[in-house]
Amino acid sequence: MTMKFGKISLLLLSFTVFCYAVIAVPETCPAANVGKCGDPDDWEGEFFPGIYKIKYEGPSSKNPLSFKWYNAEEEILGKKMKDWFRFSVAFWHTFRGTGGDPFGAPTKHWPWEDGTNSLSMAKRRMRANFEFINKLGVDFWCFHDRDIAPDAPTLEETNANLDEVAALAQELQTKGKKSVLWGTAQLFMHPRYMHGAATSSELEVYAYAAAQVKKAMEVTHYLGGENYVFWGGREGYQSLLNTDMERELNHLARFFEAAVAHKKKIGFNGKHSLEYQLAGSLYDWDAATTANFLRKYGLIGEFKLNIECNHATLSGHSCHHELETARINGLLGNIDANTGDPQVGWDTDQFLVDIQEATMIMLSVIRNDGIAPGGFNFDAKLRRESTDVEDLFIAHIVGMDTMARGLRNAAKLVEDGSLAELVRKRYQSFDTEIGAQIEAGKADFEFLEKKTKEWGEPKVASAKQELAEMIFQSAM
């Protein structure tokens, strides 16, 4: 009897263990089941089965799903790596990018997609987003309103969709201890914005854009966003023959003033940032032009700049130049860590993998003592030919490792001090009594003319550019 009871107990125990094992196995969405991964809104399966949390394994690691240079908790120049960068995933490229281009159909067919832009599909993408950032090990994400929730026939319905997805996002944020780096309104894709949004010649379009930004800002605030970014990809003109540029710029300024007023009204403490454009016919051409716009309209204290490296090169500057321009004007806010194809004059949004460029970027960030409450957003997308789910991870890993190498190199240059000393020596003639008078605005032309007659022909020293480049290269 005792033996029989023991066998029954063992059988029951085995069955219980089996049941728990079955329950513990997460539902997955394998690539073979495109469009069949959980129709209900509350499907919570695993979107990236077989991919575990990405860990730091060091430069010698051959594991493509590991960090070689980015070690989140490692302290460099008094800050943890994660605090220097505040990395963020861009929802629009990572989860809405299709691989399509002007010459070909989409190439990305993620297993969780069902081919629709329904509310149910939006929620599924949001769950995939949080699994991704959790496994990647970043703390932030960024979004456009229309990327995370579908447009509807009326603004009321569209706002209701956005509220529903935002509620899920907040729940997932709380669970994963994540946050929004910045949110924004998509004011460039819909045909209504073909003449611009805040600079549209149509009053009703201007009003619609205002209503859309109002809601997007409120959702960003609801999600605890630390910044709100404005990118006006349609704010410009095709021809000045039919354009009143002054009136459009005035309208744009009034729009930003109203945005600042609403931000204060709802108690949103996040920072506003402007991201300048990528074409000559658009009003904010580069960091300097945008800074001038802000000064002209008295908005300089209300906004910072969101510098995108690819936009910098399209405006004829290096990313380092634009960061320095923003920094010395007190306007460095966020950085979109991407790059372009030097053979293609367009916004290709590639992941930044140039270690020299990353090092120069981090020199600016170190001089700025970081960019919080801003951060580094990967406004970058997979190449058209990269179609595996794991490619999403690999692309972000190489981007994060590149920036980490840039930080390590920049820290070497700072700690060595040779480059800073070379620059100091180049300007040492101003480290004199007369130099101090000039820099204080106390040396008039008559005084300088008198000194020139005393000194005679100036002696001009070498700029030591090659030495500067040698010192820079030594840190690579």
Tell me: the pLDDT tens digits for 265-304? 999 999 998 886 644 456 667 899 889 999 999 999 999 9
pLDDT tens string 116-162:
999 999 999 999 999 999 999 999 999 999 999 999 999 999 999 99
CB count in 10 Å sphere of residue 307: 31
**Could you tell me the pTM of the whole model?**
0.89
Angle between helices 355-367 and 319-328 (to 10 degrees): 0
CA pair distance 99, 382, nearest whole angstrom: 8
CA pair distance 379, 365, nearest whole angstrom: 18
Give phi and psi for 378, each to the nearest 5.
Answer: -80, 80
CB count in 10 Å sphere of residue 329: 18
CA pair distance 152, 146, nearest whole angstrom: 10
Cis upstream peptide for 30 (omega within 30°): no
pLDDT for the residue 454: 96
CA pair distance 373, 227, nearest whole angstrom: 7
CA pair distance 293, 333, nearest whole angstrom: 16
144 has catalytic annotation: yes
Domain 55-415 has CATH 3.90.550.10: no
CB 95 within 8 A of CB 142: no
Q: Which of 68, 71, 24, 65 is nearest to 48 (CA)?
A: 65
Return the SS3 of 21. Answer: helix
Return the domain boundaries, the chain.
Answer: 55-415, 419-474
CA 388 from centre of chain: 23
CA pair distance 402, 394, nearest whole angstrom: 12
What size, in residues, is the chain?
Answer: 476
Residues of the chain with confidence (pLDDT) below 50: 1-26, 31-32, 34-35, 278-280
Give phi and psi for 43, each to the nearest 5.
Answer: -60, 130
Q: Which of 93, 109, 144, 262 is catalytic?
A: 144
CA pair distance 335, 430, nearest whole angstrom: 33
